[in-house]
Amino acid sequence: MSHVKFKVCIDACNQCAAECEHCATGCSNEQDAAKQAECIELDRYCADMCRMAAAFMARSDKHTINFVNKFCNLCAEICNDCADECEKHSHLEHCKKCAEACRKCAVECSNMSKMEAVVN
């Protein structure tokens, strides 16, 4: 299966999406959730983008392979933006974990976006 070569990046995207959802929920439950509005919004966008990037990598057939690099490049950008925002709230454990997952995903997606994808 051709998607196996994307496993590390797919796993990073799925982990990042889960941490982003957890962070958004955690931020929503904070005493002053309004201060977390931008974090919550970026968490949700990042989670959506990570899931979409993982889906395109998992499909990775002749119809989707051309989009994998583009999705991964955009995913890395959104992950870095989300991590930047979460790091502003690093006193919150969910934000700290989210930032770490976002940075890891950004690295993996950035690497993937530079790979020359070949479908087997």
pLDDT of 118 reads 47
The CATH class of 2-114 is mainly alpha
Give the ranges where 29-92 is alpha helix by DSSP (H): 37-59, 65-87
Give the C-alpha separation, 77 to 67, whole Å. 16
pLDDT tens readout for residues 68-106: 888 899 999 999 999 999 999 989 999 999 999 999 999
pLDDT, residue 2, reads 59
pTM for the structure as a whole: 0.90
Cα(64)–Cα(2) distance, integer angstroms: 12
**In this structure, how many other beta carbons lie within 10 angstroms of the beta carbon of residue 4?**
10
Q: How many CB atoms lie within 10 A of CB 30?
A: 16
Tens-digit pLDDT profile for residues 2-39: 567 789 999 999 999 999 999 999 999 989 888 999 99
